């Protein structure tokens, strides 16, 4: 069976087509700058890579080119060979606790939850509509990033604010990166052939979140009502005292929107380092003795360690600490700095084993109290697997 995973952004469309008999990627690619001048697309597999400019006025244009190219490149002979399409959607509110088959109601709900993810949900809805228009008879599903976190108990997802805010406006912690956290924790359980595990998953990238997983279910997670909360990130501040918002508004004569824009897009690595939001640039600057870069890295590591320590206590220990995503999979030094601060918990790295990037590897020392793993995430495959299960 052939199933396609779709991840749409406000001006992008990322895709992967899987052969579900082998879980192999037949082809993948990215449509960029949709609705913006200079739009283009990249399509590739093990045999070729095509990058080309194209007029992409909207997501419908991208969908049409994508499907035409699949046939032109002989990846498929006809659109009937597409057995299913799975769409990644950031926010499903507290209504969706699992992946679902697409329906008119599901699309309406995605739009309704746009207040929680204004940069993402509207684009997801537009993309789903574009695919449904071209492929009305192809089964489609939605995999929500928030769904995995819906197993949190009320005392973990509620905020200590007037309870009416939750009752009237659904103010609560929702989390994010749920598809990645679910994939990584599932992969760890498969590798260790054990389901009753206490796993702390560190999804560390430009956007970062930490999740406590016990017996396959989310116990707690670092992101909150929006993806702004939690650890220090590429451009997001992570946890702050909300009182600084009106304070800086008054000092600089800015609106709430302007301050929120700064906290989402001009903070984190970028804000502290004054250099870049990319951790690779931060690491390069650290080697040159850049004090701001050193400070930004320390703040990032401290925030990650804080959540790992909290979840270690919440679950009464940790069987596996897993690193994933861009930084987690590729930054040898960051993993080492984080685990070094966890020495009091008896968690230790094997220095030689840690000298690896992007490969499923156990990197803890033999005398470590918890196993430490590097686990490459694969949200696209998780989406395809959910789609396969639903359409069957």
Q: Domain coordinates of the chain in residue numbers?
A: 2-144, 193-379
HSE (side-chain half, CA atoms, 13 Å) at 375: 28
pLDDT (0 to 100) of residue 116: 82
pLDDT (0 to 100) of residue 132: 92
Instruction: List 202's β-bridge partners, or say none.
Output: 210, 323
**199 vs 211: CA distance, rounded Å:** 8
**19 vs 259: CA distance, rounded Å:** 46
Contact status, residue 174 vs residue 91, Cβ threshold 8 Å: yes
Distances (CA, A) of 282 to 286, 290, 333: 6, 9, 12
- What is the b/e burial string over 250-269, where b = at least 16 CB atoms within 10 angstroms of the residue's CB? eeeeeeeeebeebbbeebbb
Comparing CA positions, the residue from 333, 369, 268 lying closest to residue 323 is 333
**Superfamily name with CATH number, domain 193-379:** ATPase, nucleotide binding domain (3.30.420.40)
**392 vs 389: CA distance, rounded Å:** 5
Cβ-based neighbour number of residue 37 at 10 Å = 6
**99 vs 387: CA distance, rounded Å:** 8
Give the orientation angle of helix 121-134 with respect to helix 104-112, to 10 degrees: 160
- For the annotated catalytic residues, the residue numbers are 145
Contact status, residue 30 vs residue 42, Cβ threshold 8 Å: yes
pLDDT (0 to 100) of residue 268: 95
HSE (side-chain half, CA atoms, 13 Å) at 24: 5
Q: What is the pLDDT along the chain (392 residues), one digit of tens a residue?
A: 999 999 987 778 899 999 999 999 999 999 988 888 888 999 999 889 999 999 988 888 999 999 999 999 999 999 999 999 999 998 998 889 899 999 999 999 999 988 887 778 888 898 999 899 989 999 999 999 999 999 999 999 999 999 999 999 999 999 989 999 999 999 999 999 999 999 999 999 989 999 999 999 999 999 999 889 999 999 999 999 999 999 999 999 999 999 999 998 899 999 999 999 999 999 999 999 999 999 999 999 999 999 999 999 999 999 999 999 999 999 999 999 999 999 999 999 999 999 999 999 999 999 999 999 999 999 999 999 999 999 88
For the record, the structure tokens of 263 come out as 């906290």
Comparing CA positions, the residue from 17, 3, 123 lying closest to residue 60 is 123
What is the third-level CATH fold of 2-144? Nucleotidyltransferase; domain 5 (3.30.420)
């Amino acid at each position: 069976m052939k199933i396609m995973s779709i991840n749409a952004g406000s001006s992008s469309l990322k895709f992967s087509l899987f052969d579900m008999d082998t879980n192999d990627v037949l082809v993948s690619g990215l449509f960029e700058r949709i609705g913006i001048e200079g739009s283009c697309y990249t399509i590739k597999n093990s045999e070729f890579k095509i990058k080309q400019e194209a007029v992409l006025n909207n997501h419908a244009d991208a969908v049409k080119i994508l499907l035409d190219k699949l046939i032109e490149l002989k990846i498929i002979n006809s659109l009937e060979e597409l057995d299913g399409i799975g769409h990644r959607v950031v926010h499903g509110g507290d209504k969706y606790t699992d992946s679902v088959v697409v329906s008119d109601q599901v699309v309406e709900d995605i739009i309704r939850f746009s207040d929680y993810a204004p940069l993402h949900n509207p684009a997801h809805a537009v993309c789903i509509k574009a695919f449904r228009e071209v492929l009305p008879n192809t089964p489609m599903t939605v995999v929500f990033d928030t769904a995995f976190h819906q197993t949190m108990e009320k005392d973990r997802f509620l905020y200590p604010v007037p309870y009416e805010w939750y009752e009237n406006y659904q103010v609560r912690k929702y989390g994010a990166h749920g598809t990645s956290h679910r994939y990584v924790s599932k992969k760890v359980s498969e590798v260790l052939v054990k389901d009753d595990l206490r796993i702390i998953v560190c999804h560390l990238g430009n956007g970062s979140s930490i999740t406590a997983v016990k017996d396959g279910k989310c116990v707690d997670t670092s992101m909150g009502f929006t993806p702004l909360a939690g650890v220090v990130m590429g451009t997001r501040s992570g946890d702050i005292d909300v009182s600084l918002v009106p304070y800086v508004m008054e000092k600089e004569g800015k609106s709430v929107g302007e301050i929120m824009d700064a906290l989402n897009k001009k903070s984190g690595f970028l804000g502290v380092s004054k250099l870049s939001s990319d951790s690779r640039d931060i690491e390069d600057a650290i080697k040159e003795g850049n004090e701001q870069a050193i400070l930004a890295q320390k703040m990032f590591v401290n925030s990650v360690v804080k959540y790992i320590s909290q979840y270690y206590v919440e679950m009464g220990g940790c069987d596996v600490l897993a690193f994933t995503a861009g930084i987690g999979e590729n930054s040898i030094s960051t993993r080492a700095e984080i685990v070094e601060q966890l020495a009091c918990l008896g968690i230790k790295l094997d220095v030689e084993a840690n000298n690896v990037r992007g490969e499923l590897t156990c990197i803890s020392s033999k005398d470590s109290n918890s196993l430490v793993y590097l686990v490459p995430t694969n949200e696209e495959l998780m989406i395809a697997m959910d789609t396969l299960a639903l359409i069957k």
